[in-house]
């Protein structure tokens, strides 16, 4: 129930991101660690694969691994995928770090050290632990030992995830995207604690099920309540986060480009996913730098010279699909960028993006790619 009422479980299962894969790997690694004094091969391999699923993935495994000197072989299994992928990265991409490390600078999209981000998750599932301040938890039928066993298996990855959110300051995506992969493990801890707490509170330790059900219902309600404003905006397709999360609108632009623009043409855009998926015969240059190393380096250096001097602009793309939103980073708010577009491109079409913005399609004047 705690997993099903978490909206991020449903949204990110179909978002096309790495979130559900990382969720699977961390959950398998955690469950395989329950009651084990030494790391198991399955757990080590799961956390090892997590190390190449996201840039901070190795952090989860290192925090989970308590004593490397007691199980050196399992530590090797944990680190091997990361080392192998680093060799591939240096050999193929000729770089030690992913583009996202340079392009997604900490604090760009989040709030102060992710406090709002973490506070929302704590509001959802954290309050049962505060009941321990009111009700003394007694050792009932070994339940406290069971909770400690679950806690030991999950505390490392949970702590790693929290530290990453603090480092990144959270992000703009709703429903705690960076914490979503850890939600099954967190739900396991909360569920174990609810059983322990309910049996400790019950005057009839043999039958505390009604207290467990009541507490679980409260946690489910608090989870929905914590994310209720985001759920409403997402359903109504209102606001920046909902607009950017919905791929259908970007997909519509990609379909139009595929039908209208000559194959082999180049497109500069910040709405990469849906557009490029719908127009595979076109080459897309990502102005956010996630798939473009030169652009990522330019962003990490402080965007020297402004948008017109960015690497993807210097290449003179055939098409610019610019994002118009009521925000200071909208393309229309940058006079230098707007002047560059008006001088070199012609505005040919506009596409709504949710109830928040639009994509404006500009075509290069000197080499029109439109058929």
- What's the pLDDT at 29? 93
Number of H helices, E strands in the chain: 17, 5
Instruction: Give the sign of the dihedral formed by CA 312, CA 316, CA 321, CA 326.
Output: positive
- What's the pLDDT at 138? 57
Residue 2 lies in a domain: no
Residue 354 lies in a domain: yes
In this structure, are 247 and 159 located in the same domain?
Answer: no
In this structure, are 68 and 184 located in the same domain?
Answer: yes
The percentage of residues in the chain with a pLDDT greater than 90, rounded to a whole number, is 43
Measured between alpha carbons, how far is 147 from 255 in angstroms, rounded to an integer? 52
In this structure, are 60 and 189 located in the same domain?
Answer: yes
Residue 60 lies in a domain: yes
Task: Decide which of 236, 261, 295 is a domain's last residue.
Answer: 236
What tens digit of pLDDT does each residue of 279-327 get? 999 999 999 898 899 999 998 888 887 778 899 999 999 999 999 988 8
In this structure, are 120 and 199 located in the same domain?
Answer: yes
What tens digit of pLDDT does each residue of 119-139 get? 889 888 887 777 766 666 555
What tens digit of pLDDT does each residue of 78-105 get? 999 999 999 999 999 888 888 888 888 8
Measured between alpha carbons, how far is 289 from 269 in angstroms, rounded to an integer? 10
Residue 43 C-alpha from the chain's centroid: 22
Which segment of 47-56, 202-211, 235-244 scores lowest on mean pLDDT? Answer: 202-211
Residue 309 lies in a domain: yes
Residue 369 lies in a domain: no
pTM of the entire predicted model: 0.85
Residue 1 lies in a domain: no
Q: Hey, which residues does 283 pair with through a beta bridge?
A: 266
Q: Which domain holds residue 116?
A: 7-236
In this structure, are 216 and 283 located in the same domain?
Answer: no
Measured between alpha carbons, how far is 94 from 81 in angstroms, rounded to an integer? 18
Measured between alpha carbons, how far is 171 from 328 in angstroms, rounded to an integer? 17
Residue 96 C-alpha from the chain's centroid: 22
In this structure, are 156 and 45 located in the same domain?
Answer: yes
In this structure, are 186 and 310 located in the same domain?
Answer: no
Question: Which single residue is written with the structure tokens 């704590």?
Answer: 122
Pairing mode of beta strands 283-286, 266-269: parallel
DSSP of 289-321: SSS-HHHHHHHHTT-TT-GGGSHHHHT--SEEE
Task: Decide which of 236, 251, 280 is a domain's last residue.
Answer: 236
Count of structural domains, the chain: 2
* Mean pLDDT (whole number) for 261-274: 91
What tens digit of pLDDT does each residue of 224-256 get? 999 999 898 888 888 777 777 777 889 999 999
């Amino acid at each position: 129930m705690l997993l099903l009422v978490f909206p991020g479980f449903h949204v990110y299962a179909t978002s096309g991101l790495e979130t559900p894969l990382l969720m699977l790997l961390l959950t398998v690694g955690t469950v395989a660690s329950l009651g084990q004094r030494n790391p198991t091969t399955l757990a080590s391999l799961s956390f090892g694969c997590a190390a190449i699923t996201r840039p901070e993935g190795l952090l989860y495994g290192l925090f989970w691994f308590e004593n490397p000197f007691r199980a050196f072989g399992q530590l090797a299994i944990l680190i091997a995928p990361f080392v192998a992928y680093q060799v591939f990265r240096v050999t193929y991409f000729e770089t030690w770090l992913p583009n996202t490390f340079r392009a997604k600078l900490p604090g760009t999209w989040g709030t102060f050290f992710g406090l709002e981000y973490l506070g929302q998750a704590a509001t959802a599932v954290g309050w049962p632990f505060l009941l321990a301040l009111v009700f003394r938890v007694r050792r009932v039928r070994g339940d406290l030992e069971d909770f400690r066993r679950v806690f030991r298996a999950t505390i490392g990855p949970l702590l790693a995830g929290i530290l990453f959110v603090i480092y990144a300051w959270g992000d703009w995506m709703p429903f705690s995207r960076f914490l979503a992969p850890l939600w099954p493990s967190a739900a396991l801890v909360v569920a174990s604690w609810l059983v322990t707490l309910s049996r400790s509170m019950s005057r009839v330790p043999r039958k505390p099920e009604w207290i467990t059900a009541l507490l679980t219902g409260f946690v489910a309600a608090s989870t929905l309540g914590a994310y209720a404003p985001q759920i409403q905006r997402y359903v109504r397709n209102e606001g920046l986060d909902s607009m950017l999360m919905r791929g259908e609108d970007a997909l519509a632009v990609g379909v139009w480009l595929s039908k209208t623009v000559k194959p082999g043409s180049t497109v500069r855009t910040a709405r990469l996913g849906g557009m490029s998926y719908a127009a595979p015969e076109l080459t897309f240059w990502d102005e956010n730098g996630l798939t473009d190393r030169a652009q990522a380096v330019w962003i990490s250096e402080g965007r020297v010279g402004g948008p017109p001097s960015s690497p993807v602009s210097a290449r003179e793309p055939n098409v610019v699909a610019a994002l118009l939103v009521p925000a200071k980073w909208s393309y229309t708010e940058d006079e230098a960028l707007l002047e560059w577009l008006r001088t070199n491109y012609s505005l040919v079409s506009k596409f709504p993006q949710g109830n928040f913005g639009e994509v404006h399609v500009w075509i290069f004047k000197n080499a029109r790619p439109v058929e």
